[in-house]
Structure 1
Amino acid sequence: MNDTITIMDIDFVNTTQKELLQNHIAPRLEAEKKSFIVTANPEIVMQTREDPRYKKSVQSADYVTPDGVGVLMAAKYLKLPLKERIAGYDLMLDLLQYANEHKLSCYFLGAKEEVNEKAVAEVKKQFPAIHIAGRHHGYFDIDDETITSEIERSKADLVFVALGLPRQELWISRHIDKFSKGLFMGVGGSLDGLAGTFKRAPDIWIKLNLEWLYRLLKQPTRFKRILKVFEFMFRIIFRKST
């Protein structure tokens, strides 16, 4: 994709969620062409600075979307404005809707066993035309080839990987070459959202770009992660990015 904005060596797609799905992702799914999507927030960008292996994994993605108001603020500050935030959870729901409309198959990898099970049950309820190619919890070694072989044999059209930062992107980049087709996307805690383990912020918080604050109030343990956002912005403002 040619229309990108580079922030700290990471190329973010500069498009809307609707355009990304219709003009880029859908045609690749129809052609059974493999795709690797990273939904990157400031925490992910900072992790790429600290871990060269992880940076290489993220840079290998076909699409890196700006997931997080911090990325949009940074782009605007650098006078390279991005069209809109493309949140991982929202993109996942759009992909599930697309899969449902086209009767595609999905594999769900990651999260705790009970969360994974509940999330898949919810997918079956909300998107009944989707074929569940398989599922597996996230407690395994990312180099375990039996998991990779199981997913490859399932011939899934979409593989949602909820292994958290940085395992999910590392798993995808290490194993994607072993697949003949499939869209692979790291979805973080999105399976928890589907399972109802936590509720997303009300629409007004999201519209005001305060979803991060809502989640912090609900989960104070996220404070260390929020600090990464401030470090990210500090480096942008003082041009310490590379």
Structure 2
Amino acid sequence: MLYNHAEIMGISFLNIDREVLYNGIIYPKLRQQQKQFFVTANPEIVMLANEQPNYKAIVNQADYILPDGSGIVLASKIMRQPIEERIPGFEVMTHLIGYAEEEELGCYFLGADELVLEEFIKRIKQLHPNLVISGYHHGFFDLDDQQVVDDVKQSKADMVFVALGSPRQEQWIVKHYESFNKGLFMGVGGSFDVIAGKVKRAPKGWIKLNLEWLYRLLQQPFRWKRILKVFHFMFRVAIKRY
């Protein structure tokens, strides 16, 4: 089935709501054991993709690119291609973990440092005691490390969540995607850190007001350069539109 898309700075975003995403795309492909590669792109990733052509080519190899960030939704309105709904990667991951527990599907978790990963796995086991954890591995390895690829492959996981940060997580997925016969692959950035308790996610009220970026800045002042990229992104979008 063909779905609507919205193009922003050369990145084609899937323009659907979550119900269609889950029931129309993800669940059927999981049942049929078809591979699927998701990128959840925020303004920072779009900017990075436009600064690095090789990375842009990698992002555009994804089967689906999800609009992660209020800046993407706002940009789509400026470009007169309004996106239906912001779909944060963190929320997709947590939803799919719950679905995996219900359907007895296996999950592999790749990324973060060893201490964060151990705490993350501990927390996941508390939240989802019946989840099939096919395997996990920290994120400190070379992208060409075949042992990591073999471990993921031998786990026969139905979902592989890769928390290496961008662009590394997408680079790893694309580099080894053909090695796998099945599985949903998605880069999830710092999601393991949030669940492990190392980083706090913005309260729901802040998220509803599209102020998650401000909450992050207040919690982590060193992120100010990354926040500036969001403003640069909006400026670029406005210039292109007007």
Whether TM exceeds 0.5 here: the answer is yes
CA deviation map 1:118-148 (0-9, x unaligned): 1111111111221111111101111111110
% identical aligned pairs: 53
Gap regions ≥5 residues in structure 2: none
1:229 matched to 2:230? The reply is yes
CA-atom RMSD in angstroms: 1.2
Q: Partner of 1:143: helix, strand, or coil?
A: coil
Deviation at 1:107, TM superposition (A): 0.5
Q: Does 1:147 align with 2:151?
A: no
Q: How does 1:1-242 map to 2 (within 5 A)?
A: 1-239=2-240
> Which deviates more, 199-208 or 183-192?
199-208
Counterpart code for 1:84: E
TM-score (norm 1): 0.97
Displacement after TM superposition at 1:2 (Å): 2.8
Whichever residue aligns with residue 233 of structure 1, its letter is M
Q: How many residues align?
A: 241
Contact 2:3/2:16 (CA < 8 Å) preserved in 1?
no
Tell me the alpha carbon deviations over residues 30-59 of structure 1, each in whole angstroms, 9 at most, x when there is no partner.
Answer: 100001011100000011111122111110
Gaps of 5+ in 1: none
The code of the aligned residue for 1:102 comes to E
2-structure distance, mates of 1:202, 1:9: 32
* Distance in 2, Cα, partners of 1:240 & 1:117: 46
> Does the CA contact (< 8 Å) of 2:38 and 2:185 recur in 1?
yes
Secondary structure, counterpart of 2:80 in structure 1: coil
Consecutive aligned runs of 4 or more in structure 1 exceeding 3 Å deviation: none
The alignment's TM-score, normalised by the length of structure 2, stands at 0.97
